[in-house]
Chains A and B, each alone.
Chain A
């Protein structure tokens, strides 16, 4: 039983370490809230608008531009998108992967501080038919396809070097995690 417990702990630890390492990888993720905490959501009411928040995490350099695309599921219909600071931002293209994606760049004054989470784009979508009974629906960040990229990339301000990152997946209808009532005694009994 102790060996089994040790095995379970090892697997759990490995999972934690993997999650921690992944969290340090430069990535682009879509959040469903302006505080950038929610990467999962339930279906919205068809016909209603919702803002999404595209955020760059862990790039750790001053960012003078980036490109990516977003694979919107059929339940989300891309409507338009805005920039946090449109006066100092220029772009080419739009975010849906079906259009090739978007390239964003900044004025000399206003490179982004990649040492913290950077909000780079606010796409607005219209909810279409959405059925959580079909299981989780992914909302995936991908690359700027006209340049043959499969994941997001960003440019370091100081030397205009390009770096690749990871496109993260957010979920609509993440699914229900099964639970059951129990007691500490019953949990401990599992390992005796």
Chain B
């Protein structure tokens, strides 16, 4: 009887060892951020807390910066059926304030049979950032070559750069960034500090205020693009 138990335990142990040894070849269905990948052409988009910025498919230039994300598990197998709400974009330097949290930048669809999905729309956000990370189920997708976070060179710039104060975050001075999900006089007065005028002809260039990419200068095109989101009732996050 006792001998039979030993045999049974030995068989169970052997089974565990066999499974552990073969773990690299078994589909886990768990996202492997280092084996997944995300790609896109670099570019620049205007993002707005109202969601009417430049789509990634029509970035400045115009350039198509649509993002393609392939989600894989530890065996390099694409994971199908990950919900769109489980995948989103954030600023590489934490410079974007997403409207409504991660739902402000969800993927277009759930992953397909090959684990692939896309992002066609710009993040619904305020702030400014030089690049975008793709996040799947809370994990930043890495560069498969070196397993470090992969920052896509898609700059996102919003006319919402400053806070008007309570009930939003505290206002901040100079070019410090403190978006509050609405485009207000605080943002306009900040923008004007970078717009050449008769009293400030040498207004310093700041990329975050360059919404139209006109030769590295802040121009009338930038002002008009800013004003589309500010004049009248300033745009704000509807959530």
- A residues whose Cβ falls under 8 Å from a Cβ of B: 64-67, 87-90, 92-93, 98-101, 103, 105-110, 144-147, 153, 155, 160-162
Q: How far is the CA of A92 from the CA of B218 in the complex (A)?
A: 13
Report the interface size for chain B: residues with CB under 8 A from the other chain.
Answer: 27
Contacts of B200 in A (CB 8 A): 146
Contacts of B220 in A (CB 8 A): 65-67, 103, 105, 144, 147, 153, 155, 162
Q: How far is the CA of A90 from the CA of B217 in the complex (A)?
A: 20
CB pair A109 B212 closer than 8 Å: no
Contacts of A109 in B (CB 8 A): 232
CB pair A107 B232 closer than 8 Å: yes
B196-239 vs A, CB cutoff 8 Å, 1 = contact: the mask equals 11111100000000001010010111011111111111000000
Check B108 for interface membership: any CB of A closer than 8 A: no
Given A155-B221, A160-B221, A162-B221, A93 and B198 contact (CB-CB distance below 8 Å) = yes
Known pairs A106-B227, A108-B232; list 8 more (Cβ under 8 Å). Answer: A90-B230, A99-B199, A103-B220, A105-B227, A107-B233, A108-B52, A108-B228, A162-B214
CB pair A146 B197 closer than 8 Å: yes
Cβ contacts A to B, 15 pairs, < 8 Å: A65-B223, A88-B232, A90-B230, A90-B231, A92-B192, A92-B197, A93-B197, A98-B198, A100-B199, A101-B198, A103-B223, A105-B223, A106-B224, A108-B231, A160-B224
CB pair A155 B192 closer than 8 Å: no
CB pair B221 A100 closer than 8 Å: no
CB pair A100 B201 closer than 8 Å: yes
Contacts of A100 in B (CB 8 A): 197-199, 201
CB pair B219 A92 closer than 8 Å: no
CB pair B225 A160 closer than 8 Å: yes
